[in-house]
């Protein structure tokens, strides 16, 4: 099981920090808090945060100045900005500085959680598994090998590129056009031919595929065990 996303909350208001830490912890996140930009910098030097929540209006260095500085340093953690100001110009200023979203105070914790979840879905992509199992076969994308026990199943270069592309998005529908782009000289029509050949090598019954599935009107989907 992957570790829960780690969120940094930076706000000079003790009450807000406590509220957000309690609420986001109950939502299943790991939460660290800081009272100002100086403390936040020290934390960024130690941890890689999956998301940061900055208050814009802080004494000393503001949240806007902090995010601009972090972006110049190459720190790319997504940021949700909090502020008591709700004018459009302030929202635009925050987004231009490099924020991913913006929420005006006062806010409902449920709305904050929804925004946090949406940002993490967009930015926190799990790497594809190194190995995929399919009815006794194991495909290792890193090594470019399809094996059944100790036996290596021979794949043509086109079949390997096709299987690798599908495995990188296992469980998701991938268009014929995208699949063709992964193999030099391939067309959408040739992808259909390669799929038929590949099914003979990976499916228990190629006429009733369970792993290399057709997604009508789109393309194909690879479903591991």
pLDDT digits (tens, 9 = 90+) for 201-216: 999 999 999 999 999 9
Boundary (domain end) residue, out of 62, 95, 123: 123
Domain assignment of residue 1, yes or no: no
Q: For residue 204, what is the domain's CATH number?
A: 1.10.10.10
15 and 101 co-located in one domain: yes
For 82-130, the pLDDT digits (tens) are 987 666 677 788 788 888 998 988 889 889 999 999 999 888 766 667 8
Residue 217 sits in which domain range?
131-222
Q: Please give the angle made by the CA atoms of 134, 140 and 142, to the nearest 5 degrees.
A: 155
HEC string for 132-168:
EEECCEEEECCCCEEEECCEEECCCHHHHHHHHHHHC
Q: If DSSP codes are grouped into helix, strand and coil, which group holds residue 85?
A: coil
119 and 10 co-located in one domain: yes
pTM to 2 decimals? 0.58
Phi, then psi, of 132 in degrees rounded to 5: -125, 130
Token pair recorded at residue 185: 């000289």
Higher pLDDT, 87 or 28: 28
38 and 60 co-located in one domain: yes
Which DSSP string corresponds to 4-52?
PPEEEEE-S-HHHHHHHHHHHHHTT-EEEEESSHHHHHHHHTT---SEE
Please give the share of the chain, as a percent, with pLDDT higher than 90.
Answer: 68
Please, is 138 exposed, middle or buried when counting C-beta atoms within 10 Å of its C-beta (0-12, 13-18, 19+)? middle
Q: For residue 41, what is the domain's CATH number?
A: 3.40.50.2300
Cα separation of 150 and 185, whole Å?
33
109 and 182 co-located in one domain: no
149 and 82 co-located in one domain: no
Residue 2: predicted pLDDT: 55
Domain assignment of residue 81, yes or no: yes
Boundary (domain end) residue, out of 99, 123, 147: 123
Q: Among 65, 67, 91, 62, which residue's Cα sits nearest to residue 77? A: 67
Boundary (domain end) residue, out of 101, 123, 145: 123
Domain assignment of residue 155, yes or no: yes
For 31-85, the pLDDT digits (tens) are 999 999 999 999 999 999 999 999 988 889 988 899 999 999 999 899 999 987 6
Given a cut of 90, is residue 134 above it in pLDDT?
yes
Rounded average pLDDT over 6-29? 94
Residue 28: predicted pLDDT: 93
Rounded average pLDDT over 141-150? 93
135 and 117 co-located in one domain: no
Cα separation of 211 and 224, whole Å?
6
Q: If DSSP codes are grouped into helix, strand and coil, which group holds residue 214?
A: strand
At 1, the pLDDT band (50, 70, 90 cuts) reads very low
CB 39 within 8 A of CB 48: no
Number of domains forming the structure of the chain: 2
167 and 185 co-located in one domain: yes
């Amino acid at each position: 099981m992957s570790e829960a996303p780690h969120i940094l909350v930076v706000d000079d208001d003790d009450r807000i920090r406590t509220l957000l830490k309690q609420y986001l912890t109950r939502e299943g996140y790991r939460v660290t808090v800081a009272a100002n930009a100086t403390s936040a910098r020290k934390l960024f030097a130690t941890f890689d945060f999956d998301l940061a929540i900055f208050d814009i209006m802080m004494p000393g260095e503001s949240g806007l100045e902090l995010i601009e500085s972090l972006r110049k340093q190459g720190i790319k953690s997504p940021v949700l900005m909090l502020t008591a100001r709700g004018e459009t110009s302030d929202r635009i200023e925050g987004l231009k500085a490099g924020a991913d979203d913006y929420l005006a105070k006062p806010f409902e914790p449920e709305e904050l959680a929804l925004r946090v979840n949406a940002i993490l879905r967009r930015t926190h992509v799990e790497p594809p598994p190194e190995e995929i199992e399919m009815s006794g076969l194991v495909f290792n994308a890193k090594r470019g090998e399809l094996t059944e026990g100790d036996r290596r199943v021979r794949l043509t270069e086109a079949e390997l590129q096709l299987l690798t592309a599908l495995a990188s998005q296992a469980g998701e529908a991938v268009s014929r056009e995208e699949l063709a782009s992964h193999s030099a000289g391939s067309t959408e029509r040739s992808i259909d031919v390669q799929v038929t050949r590949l099914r003979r090598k990976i499916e228990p019954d190629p006429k009733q595929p369970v792993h290399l599935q057709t997604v009508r009107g789109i393309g194909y989907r690879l479903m591991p065990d």
